[in-house]
Amino acid sequence: MEVINFLIFLALSGVIILSALAVLFSPKIVYSVIGAVVCFLGVAGIFLQLNADFVGISQIVIYGVGISILFIFAIMLTSQEEEKNLWIALKPRLFVALLSVGLLFTLIVFCITGGGKKFDNAGVFNIVDVEKSHIEFLKKEGTTNLIGQRLFTDYVLPFEILSLLLLAGIVGAGVLAGKDDELDREEK
Amino acid sequence: MEFLTLGLVHYLLLAAVLFCIGLVCVVASKHLIRMLLGVELMLNAVNINLVAFSNYKMYIDGEIFAMFIMAIAVCEVAVGLAILIAIFKNTGSINADEQDSLKG
């Protein structure tokens, strides 16, 4: 059973990393968006494997449907003919970026495994496995009830501020990308 | 060989790799939309981190934080793409190297 879990994790992480590399190295921008959508769906699979059903389903809806549609519309409205020289930066910048990001990744691995000493599946956190009773409870009830309880008692202030932020985002995006009446009148 | 059983470290390593790929995507790309896709990859990596800790420490606050990050990412993508469309209307190109009107 644990081997199946590990194989599912390997398959999902392979999908995620390959599609992220497709985002980075695709010459056409539409291929990058398709790679990003596959990456979002892979991340949703990781969330479902981590017993987070509400977050996983909302990841599919918000990222896989909403944000990909936004990107496709933006590509449609800003399409240029020559896309070949928009692929990736010139050689020095790409190599410096890869080198520095490689250093960052080494630093993160160093911090997680405690200096390379604790290279097992718990790292410096000393957490090995989830309790069976917790997993049974989550399989029976799901996380929606827990999220709802905490969200509307302890975290109600960030929730209200988030609704104001969404309103401001909607109005602002509509104003920024909308038609410019003064410009049209000047042209006439 | 305890590294072959699934644990917290595996999810953190996956999130680190995804974050680093998103960071290269932002820094080393000439197309403005690809930069925004890199930002979305970085946000997803952070979400994987949060939900992994929320699972292995058996509390729900990590998932609530991840939901907030998802909602804020939607706002940021909407406003960012609106700004990008405005830039395209004003300058006519989405090449990141050609936006140099603030250059000295």
Is residue A112 pLDDT above 90, yes or no?
no
Q: Tell me what pLDDT residue A89 has.
A: 67
Q: Tell me what pLDDT residue A84 has.
A: 61
Give whichever of A81-85, A106-110, A175-179 has the largest mean pLDDT.
Answer: A106-110
pLDDT digits (tens, 9 = 90+) for A134-173: 888 888 888 899 999 999 999 999 999 999 999 999 999 9
Q: Tell me what pLDDT residue A167 has.
A: 96
Q: Per-residue b/e over A121-144, b at no fewer than 16 CB within 10 Å?
A: bbbebebeebeeeeeeebeeeebe
Q: Look up residue B21 and give its amino acid.
A: I
Print the SS3 string covering B9-48.
HHHHHHHHHHHHHHHHHHHCCCEHHHHHHHHHHHHHHHHH
Cα separation of B17 and A133, whole Å? 32
Among candidates B8, B58, B86 on the partner chain, residue whose Cβ is nearest the Cβ of A131: B58
Q: Can you read off the two tokens belonging to residue A106? A: 């080494």
Closest approach of B58 to chain A, Cα-based (Å) = 7
pLDDT digits (tens, 9 = 90+) for B3-48: 778 888 899 999 999 999 999 999 988 889 999 999 999 999 999 9
Cα separation of B18 and B15, whole Å? 5
Query: Is the complex ipTM more than 0.85?
Result: yes
In a mutational test of the A interface, the residue from B1, B31, B48, B84 whose CB has the highest number of chain A CBs within 10 Å is B31
Q: Tell me what pLDDT residue B26 has.
A: 93
Cα separation of A78 and A64, whole Å? 21
pLDDT class of A128 with cuts at 50, 70, 90: low
pLDDT class of A177 with cuts at 50, 70, 90: confident
Spacing of C-alpha A46 from chain mean position: 11
Q: Tell me what pLDDT residue B1 has.
A: 52
Contacts of B51 in chain A (CB under 8 A): 46-47, 50, 52, 55
> In DSSP terms, which residues pair with B95 in a beta bridge?
B31
**Alpha carbon distances (Å) from B72 to A52, A53, A108:** 19, 20, 25
Contact state of B44 with A123 under an 8 Å Cβ cutoff: no
Q: Tell me what pLDDT residue A184 has.
A: 55
In a mutational test of the B interface, the residue from A53, A69, A121 whose CB has the highest number of chain B CBs within 10 Å is A121
Contact state of A59 with B36 under an 8 Å Cβ cutoff: no
